Chains A and B, each alone.
Chain A
Amino acid sequence: MKIGIPRALLFYEYSPLWIAFFSNLGAEVVLSEQTNKRVLHQGTQTTVDDACIPVKLYHGHVLNLKDKVDYIFVPRIMGVSKGDFICPKFCGIPEMIKNSLTDIPKMINTTIDFTKTDKHFNDTIIEIGKYITKDENKILSSYDSALSEFNLYKDKLKQGQLPTDTNNINIFESNNRKIMLMGHPYNIYDNFINMNVIKKLRDDQYDVITPEMIDDNITSEYALQYDGKIFWNFARKLIGSCLYEVEKKQIDGMIYICSFGCGIDSIVSEIVERRIRKANIPFMLITIDEHSGEAGFNTRLEAFTDMIKWRHNLENNLSTHG
């Protein structure tokens, strides 16, 4: 049996878990192609106009799996951590897909709530696994081993490897200047929609740090320092990462990538910007949408990295026009 997973939205956070789970159960996992012009085009053509670009890309990725699989995994994500909420688009994505797209394979759209008790969560896992086998013990043991694989993967992230990296690297041993890339995982790891920002920064001799490299317990602890109530899960992750970096002072700049029209980013980027600026760390916000011309993006990126180099040269009393 072939299970398709769209390479979009929470894919960049949870895909190793679900790929391992379905594979352990004996299913063949098929991923949609990397985001490309056709995915973007089909996504923007079929999605409701008001949706943000990540949701449009998700539609495109679902279409990309059409005719290739028996089921497409489009879960309804209700919650990922206790006490905070996830953007409503994750709760409504199965309906958006059902109503906007036709002639697509059957969907697995089980409701997933990671904040449920173990007993309840086991029911969720069994419900998903039953699409492949009736053996409940096999389903649960497949999930358990997938979870341990996932935890190993998360350890690798903490050493500085990005979800998009294939080889092992450890940036914390390098002397390069470090730029933190902030934003939702589906913006900072989708190299098509973010105009290959990670490669551009690395080619320019910067190491890239992302919130996923910081342990969830640490970000949650640092997020407690924030004096307002943090409503969204993403907000907690990003604000926590920001406050952690402000204290550790190990980054030379921060670039926040947000998608046009994102309600959560509109508030979080503002909070993060204020804290980062107070710490005298260079900050830049880049808004992305369906652009494919890179000139405007490159101009900003180049000016930002120039600025960091100049500042360093000034501090080292070298030529100011480095």
Chain B
Amino acid sequence: MEKLYLGIDVGSVSTNVVIIDGNNNIIDKLYIRTMGNPINALKEGLKHAKVKMSELGSDFMISGVGTTGSGRQLAGFMVGADVIKNEITAHAIAASTFIPNVNTILEIGGQDSKIIILKNNVISDFAMNTVCAAGTGSFLDRQAARLGIPIEEFGAHALNSTTDVRIAGRCAVFAESDMIHKQQLGYSKEDIINGLCEALVRNYLNNLAKGKDIKGPIVFQGGVAANIGIKKAFEKALGLEIYVPTHYDVMGAIGSALLAKQEVIQKQKTKFLGLEMADVDFKVKGFECSHCPNVCEVIGIYKDENLSARWGDKCGRWTNINIPSPTV
């Protein structure tokens, strides 16, 4: 019986599921758009994993599961996670496992961007974007749609640029109006896309990476690492080679699978509820608690119509699921 481990990353834009084996080989990976519905995205991911497991046959079994991403609590509850970890730790574990001696991780996802600095394979510093989402995947998605270019081809267009066009990168709203103004002057799409890639990188380096000790080897991961234009712009700005790992788009999920593996080996047992969770009906029903002026938005998770978890209350009064939710 070979033991496999499941890693799940429920992010703002994508939900990723990976299966790794005991030697950290990637057996399967899946990248699905969350589309504002993490429960459905995760169930789809689990269904896919189920198909894969039946293909592999009965010699294989999933012995542990880890979740990460902004939806990690919800996902962790649904599958019975052994480890529920933040995405910074998960990304760092994955990168340092596959790229020995990595010093800098640039990670740009759907709604967050991060920089992680490692020393001796341990995080020594990190930063995440603060108040602004400029320079994340969602912004690129939107601009690609506006220009009528599929996001997959967006970066490649930048490589055909012949003239430098400067786009304001500090704010997504400023960037968009600057792009439109440059486009109205007659600059080509390629030049504008290249200008946008450079603006995004400039914003990232001035904002997130400010004062950080960026040294090679540098790894670029997250969904935006698919964008060759951004990679080139990073290389140009830093004067260093940027390495995009094979599984750049699911590194968070890989990290949580690695963490799960470690946890299960240590504890010698798993809390995993099984891939059948893909067929369980999960529903979310919320209510506003009127007990105090905080008016907490309490969320109840119903598994096959039975209330099985509740969170969102500051004081914890609804954590006990034996107390019935107020009827609205």
Chain A positions near chain B (C-beta within 8 angstroms): 33, 36-39, 192, 196, 260, 273-274, 277, 282-283, 287, 289, 295-296, 298-300, 302-304, 306-307, 310-311, 314, 320-321
Contact = CB atoms under 8 A, between A and B. Distances in A.
Residue from the set B88, B122, B292, B314 with the largest chain A CB neighbour count within 10 Å: B122
A321 B262 contact: yes
Given A38-B293, A287-B130, A306-B85, 18 more contacts: A36-B292, A37-B295, A38-B294, A38-B295, A273-B211, A282-B124, A299-B86, A299-B128, A300-B86, A302-B85, A302-B89, A306-B86, A306-B88, A307-B124, A307-B125, A314-B120, A320-B121, A321-B93
Interface string B125-152: 1101011000000000000000000000
Given A36-B293, A302-B89, A289 B131 contact: yes
Residue from the set A304, A310, A311 with the largest chain B CB neighbour count within 10 Å: A310
Contacts of A304: 126
Contacts of B131: 260, 287, 289
A302 B112 CA distance: 16
Nearest to B87: A299
A320 B294 CA distance: 41
Given A287-B130, A299-B128, A321-B93, A307 B293 contact: no
Nearest to B93: A321
B201 interface: no
A314 B96 CA distance: 15
A299 B123 contact: no
A307 B88 CA distance: 10
Residue from the set B128, B211, B259, B294 with the largest chain A CB neighbour count within 10 Å: B294
Nearest to B263: A321
B86 A298 contact: yes
Interface in B36-85: 70, 85
A102 B293 CA distance: 22
A192 B296 CA distance: 12
A295 B93 contact: no
Contacts of B86: 298-300, 302-303, 306
Contact of A311 (B88, B124, B259): B124
A296 B132 CA distance: 13
A268 to B, nearest CB: 15
A302 B88 CA distance: 9
Nearest to A39: B293
A320 B130 CA distance: 28
Residue from the set B85, B86, B131, B262 with the largest chain A CB neighbour count within 10 Å: B86
A303 B88 contact: yes
Contacts of A320: 121-122
10 contacts: A33-B293, A37-B295, A192-B294, A277-B125, A289-B131, A302-B86, A310-B122, A311-B124, A320-B122, A321-B259
Given A289-B131, A303-B88, A37 B120 contact: no
Given A295-B70, A299-B70, A303-B86, A314 B126 contact: no
Contacts of B262: 321
B291 to A, nearest CB: 11
A282 B125 contact: yes
Which 3 A-B pairs give the minimum distances between C-beta atoms?
A303-B88, A38-B293, A36-B293
A208 to B, nearest CB: 19
Contact of B126 (A277, A287, A295, A307): A307
Nearest to A300: B128
A302 B89 CA distance: 9
Contacts of B125: 277, 282-283, 307
Contacts of A287: 130-131
Interface string B4-25: 0000000000000000000000
B122 A311 contact: yes
Given A282-B125, A299-B87, A299-B128, A37 B294 contact: yes
B293 A306 contact: no
A303 B89 contact: yes
A277 B123 CA distance: 14
B14 to A, nearest CB: 16
Interface string B231-274: 00000000000000000000000000001001000000000000
Contacts of B88: 299-300, 303, 306
A271 B201 CA distance: 26
Contacts of B211: 273-274, 277
A277 B211 CA distance: 10
Residue from the set B112, B211, B293, B314 with the largest chain A CB neighbour count within 10 Å: B293
A274 B85 CA distance: 29
Contacts of A289: 131
A52 to B, nearest CB: 13
